[in-house]
Structure 1
Amino acid sequence: MTLWELGKSKSAKVTQIDASLDQQIIARLSEMGLSTGRDVQCIRRGPLGGPMVMQLGGSIFAMEHDLATRIQISPTD
C-alpha cells in the first residue's frame, strides 16, 4: 500500500521509500523525519487529487500525489 492510499484520519508505518528517487529528495524526506519505521497520519486530502496533508511526529506536511505513491506503508489502525 502506498502513502497516497492512506485514508483520512488513518495511521500507518513507513515500510519503504523508493530508492530510485533523486538522492536530494530522499535527503529532504529524511530531514523532514520521513524514514522507514516512522509513523504517519493522514490529516486531510486535497480536492481533485490535490496534495495530502500528513502528520509526522509533531509536524504537519503536505505531499503531492507523485511522491506519495512512491512511499510504501503498512496501516496501523
Structure 2
Amino acid sequence: MTLWELNTKQQALIISVKSELAENVKERLSEMGIQVGRDIQCVRKGPLGGPIVMQLGGSVFAIEENLAAQIEVEARN
C-alpha cells in the first residue's frame, strides 16, 4: 500500500521510496525524515485530492498525492 492510501489516524512503517522519483526529490523527502524503517501516521487528508497531512516523529507536514503515491508503507494496527 502507499502512503496516499492510509486512512486518517492510521499508522504505518515506511518500506520503500520508489526509484522513479528524481534524485533531488528523494533527497528532500529523506531530509524531511521519510526514510525506510521509520513510522509515520496520517493526520488527515485534504478534500478533493488535496494534500495528505502526516506526522513523523515530532514533525507534522503535508505532501501532495503524486509524492505520497510513490512511498510504499506497511499499515500498522
TM-score by length of 1: 0.98
The equivalent residue for 2:10 is 10
Percent identical pairs in the alignment equals 51
2-structure distance, mates of 1:33, 1:72: 14
Q: Secondary structure at the match of 2:53?
A: strand
TM-score by length of 2: 0.98
2-structure distance, mates of 1:55, 1:40: 6
What's the C-alpha RMSD, in Å, of the aligned pairs?
0.5
1:12-51 map, 5 Å = 12-51=12-51
Structure 1, gaps ≥5 residues long: none
1-structure distance, mates of 2:33, 2:50: 22
Please report how far the alpha carbon of residue 9 of structure 1 lies from its aligned counterpart in structure 2 after TM superposition. Answer: 0.3
The equivalent residue for 1:55 is 55
